Structure 1
Amino acid sequence: MRLLHTYHFRDGFTLVELLVTLAVFTFVIGIIYATYSMGIFMWKTTETKLWTVQEARMSLERIIRESRGAKQGSVKIVSSGFEFENIEGEKISFEKSGDRILRKVNNTGNNIVATNVKDFKIESAGTSYRVEIVFNNDYTVSGIFTPRNK
């Protein structure tokens, strides 16, 4: 009689193979999650910066555009901002209140021009005026205007 050798191959994984595969899979998923989280964080940071820059430019443009319509010699610098009289005889003021810049007409109304403001300055430079706005995240915008109406 001949002896037949039959080999039975085991199908499946050993415990060590399973643990190594699980460790590699966890490592790959961790790298993917970290990359995704970093991307989301950078996107939010960039979006916040862009919003601040846009608000800063729009605020400064509004202040300068309206201030150009001031009567010459009517611009008065006060502690929290400045005021002037326009061609229609309205007294318009821009002043910092808390972390906002407010616009008032004849000392009434509180139209918000800018938010998250750290500092608001105006300086006289001969017949022109220099306006500077510093925002809470240390972004600064500045511009110069000259009253055009007599």
Structure 2
Amino acid sequence: MLAKAIATDNLTTISAGTLKLLVFEMGKLTLALPVEQVKKVIRYQPTYGSGLSHVSISHLGDEEITIVDLHQKLFKTSQLNESESQGYFVITKAFSGKGIAGEPLGIIVMKTPILLEVSLAQIRVLPNSYRHADTLEIASHVAIVPQESESNLTIFILDIDRLV
């Protein structure tokens, strides 16, 4: 049942009851995208924009990519102020959200993302009431991953259609 719910929510990288995630830190949060939604991870490139919102553009090869600063969207401060030339872009595959059909997005991350395979039993749907009341409306699911220490790792799985 959970696998079917995840598959219908754009999380279809399912093999043998697991989901492969590209995991990255954003402030005190741990966020992730399903691997199938990621085109590539590249070194940070200069971005251009007004600086008044959480989106800008970057010239990548022969195309312009919309870049999303999730740190600014979530915490109202840009992580680019801390370090202008470090970090990475997680480039998504083309998606269809909010009338932006077929465009890939870049997400700024400061530390190297990691690949993590998570059991479907560890993934839960976020309640709609939480999604509508919190800045984490951009997440659709949460994964609770046991760690060697006593605490669990909580990973918010992003809904790519809600990032912009």
Q: Answer whether TM exceeds 0.5 for this pair.
A: no
Which has the larger Rg? 1
Q: Which has the higher contact order (CA 8 A, sep 6+)?
A: 2
- Structure 1 length as normaliser, TM-score? 0.29
Report which of the two has the higher share of strand: 2
- Structure 2 length as normaliser, TM-score? 0.28
